[in-house]
Amino acid sequence: KLRELKVEDMKASRPEDVEEILAKIPDKAVFNAALQALIFDDRIGLLAAWREKDTEAQMVSVGRIIRWQVVGGDAIWRNWASE
């Protein structure tokens, strides 16, 4: 499913948010290609970065994500800066 991810297919609780976001992206194909590279690139992609971590580092990342979910909202960004 991630390989099929396209910004044009995004969803939001308010349709006007989708319209506003899409209006700010002039070339959706370029955006989608950059998104795919961000996720899948063998050198700099998120999945490559995850594979390079040892098990302990992966579990630290998982714990951080769970904490963010429990705290919720903009706490993600507050916690990010403090860690």
Helix, strand, or coil here: 28?
helix
Q: Is the pLDDT of residue 4 over 60?
A: yes
Rounded to two decimals, what is the model's pTM?
0.63
Distances 53 to 31, 44, 72, 82 between C-alpha atoms, Å: 27, 13, 25, 21
Q: Is the pLDDT of residue 81 over 60?
A: no
Q: What are the pLDDT digits (tens) for 10-47? A: 999 999 999 999 999 999 999 999 999 988 988 878 88
Q: Is the pLDDT of residue 83 over 90?
A: no
Q: What are the pLDDT digits (tens) for 49-67? A: 888 889 998 899 888 878 8
